[in-house]
Amino acid sequence: MFDPDKFIDDQVQKLRETVKGKAIIAASGGVDSTVCAAIVSKAIGDQLLAVYVDTGFMRKGETESIDGMLGRLGVNHVIVNASDEYFEALKGVTDPERKRKIIGEKFIRVFEREAGKFGAEYLVQGTIAPDWIESGGGLRDTIKSHHNVGGLPTEMNMELVEPLHDLYKDEVRKVARALKIEVAERQPFPGPALAIRIMGEPTRESVDIVREACAIVEEEIEKAAAAGKMDLPWQYFAVLLPVKSVGVQGDVRAYGYTVAVRAVESLDAMSAAYMKIPHDVLEAISTRITNVMKDRVNRVVYDITDKPPATIEWE
Ligand code: XMP
């Protein structure tokens, strides 16, 4: 039987014996990196620096909530606002794979800079067992290059520390509970974040629209699920389409953007079925999106495609 408290004590002791200098970790707000940061911080205190990079593509309230959580855990951390750099690097970029590549590379540059400033000698990573088992077994999805923000190159000149290396997800969750980390049972979210939910160039304006739309989709669906109207989907979000269409506002012709809503059921993201959401829930989503963003969005559509032939994300 896995004992989370014993695991924490053993790791803290081991880390105290092996980590003899400053260490750095990329904190994403996900359970693995948060648990890792909390354990290493227990062992070496402020010799650990957790770096959270705000790329400009985070969900609504995400940066603030991660900042608060790391603070409550007593983890020495820094929030790096790198959004200007990201928007600059993505100027005119519309190809999904180029977006992923640029975002992944930029992340490495920003992180390296912070590691250098701090003088870190150790790199802490929240790798868990399925991460290395899958990449070794050639099971990786080759349809999209799943560049994880946080996926750092091994040639960084630091010694690797991976306290969760042999744990499975359910064990990490047990450790999280033992550490009183609110394990957000949140839906999967892609590393490149909202940048790949904008069909076209990611700009401050387009990311604002998709951020608001995603927040509305999440809220309305979670509300409907809590009220027993539907099951919580595997993933549910909004995508901003590069299509403008004619609408009417009052008695004036409008010309605004289109938002697509996506909600799917899945077991492992390898295949997925579009979710048969009650129409009143779809209507609430559509009404809110077009009210809140009156001047910008005048059409909301629902994606009724399974994977395959589509994928879950649009890019
Ligand atoms: P697709 O769109 O390929 O997505 O059906 C399968 C799952 O992977 C997520 N996804 C990503 N995750 N980096 C990630 O970390 C990425 O670039 C990326 N692209 C897709 C997607 O949200 C779904 O859960």
The number of the ligand 1 atom at minimal distance from the alpha carbon of 145 is: 17
The number of the ligand 1 atom at minimal distance from the alpha carbon of 148 is: 15
Which residues have a Cβ under 8 Å from the Cβ of 105 and sit 6 or more positions away?
Answer: none
pTM above 0.75, yes or no: yes
Query: How buried is residue 50: exposed, middle or buried, by Cβ count under 10 Å (0-12/13-18/19+)?
Result: buried
Q: 313 CB less than 6 Å from ligand 1?
A: yes
Mean pLDDT on 9-26: 97
pLDDT at 145 over 90: no
Say what the pLDDT of residue 130 is.
85
Strand-strand pairing, 252-265 and 297-302: parallel
Q: 101 CB less than 6 Å from ligand 1?
A: no
Distance 207 CA to ligand 1 centre (A): 18
Best CATH choice for the domain 203-302 from the list 3.30.300.10, 3.40.50.800, 3.30.479.10, 1.10.8.50: 3.30.300.10
The number of the ligand 1 atom at minimal distance from the alpha carbon of 189 is: 22
Domain ranges of the chain: 4-178, 203-302
The number of the ligand 1 atom at minimal distance from the alpha carbon of 187 is: 24
Report yes or no: 49 and 76 within 8 Å, Cβ to Cβ: yes
Average pLDDT over the chain reads 93
Report yes or no: 307 and 141 within 8 Å, Cβ to Cβ: no
Report yes or no: 186 and 90 within 8 Å, Cβ to Cβ: no
Residues 92-138 pLDDT 10s: 999 999 999 999 999 999 999 999 999 999 999 999 988 877 655 44
User: What is residue 163's three-state secondary structure?
Assistant: coil
Report yes or no: 79 and 67 within 8 Å, Cβ to Cβ: yes
- Closest-CA residue to 98 (of 152, 149, 154, 147): 147
Distance 146 CA to ligand 1 centre (A): 6
Tokens of residue 119, six digits: 């003088």
Residue nearest to atom 10 of ligand 1 (CA): 190
Q: Give the Cα separation of 289 and 209 in Å (integer).
A: 9
User: If you search the block for the tokens 């880390």, which residue do you land on?
Assistant: 15
Sheet with 122-124, edge to edge strand ranges:
77-81, 48-54, 23-26, 122-124, 159-161
pLDDT band at 182 (very low <50, low <70, confident <90, very high): confident
Going by the DSSP 8-state scheme, the letter that residue 158 receives in this structure is S
Q: 310 CB less than 6 Å from ligand 1?
A: no
Distance 313 CA to ligand 1 centre (A): 6
Q: Give the Cα separation of 106 and 109 in Å (integer).
A: 5
More reliable by pLDDT, 58 or 157: 58
Q: 174 CB less than 6 Å from ligand 1?
A: no
Residue nearest to atom 4 of ligand 1 (CA): 312
Report yes or no: 124 and 167 within 8 Å, Cβ to Cβ: no
Q: 99 CB less than 6 Å from ligand 1?
A: no
Number of Cβ within a 10 Å radius of residue 36:
29
Q: Does domain 4-178 have CATH number 3.40.50.620?
A: yes
Say what the pLDDT of residue 154 is.
59
Residue nearest to atom 11 of ligand 1 (CA): 190
Going by the DSSP 8-state scheme, the letter that residue 229 receives in this structure is S
Say what the pLDDT of residue 137 is.
46
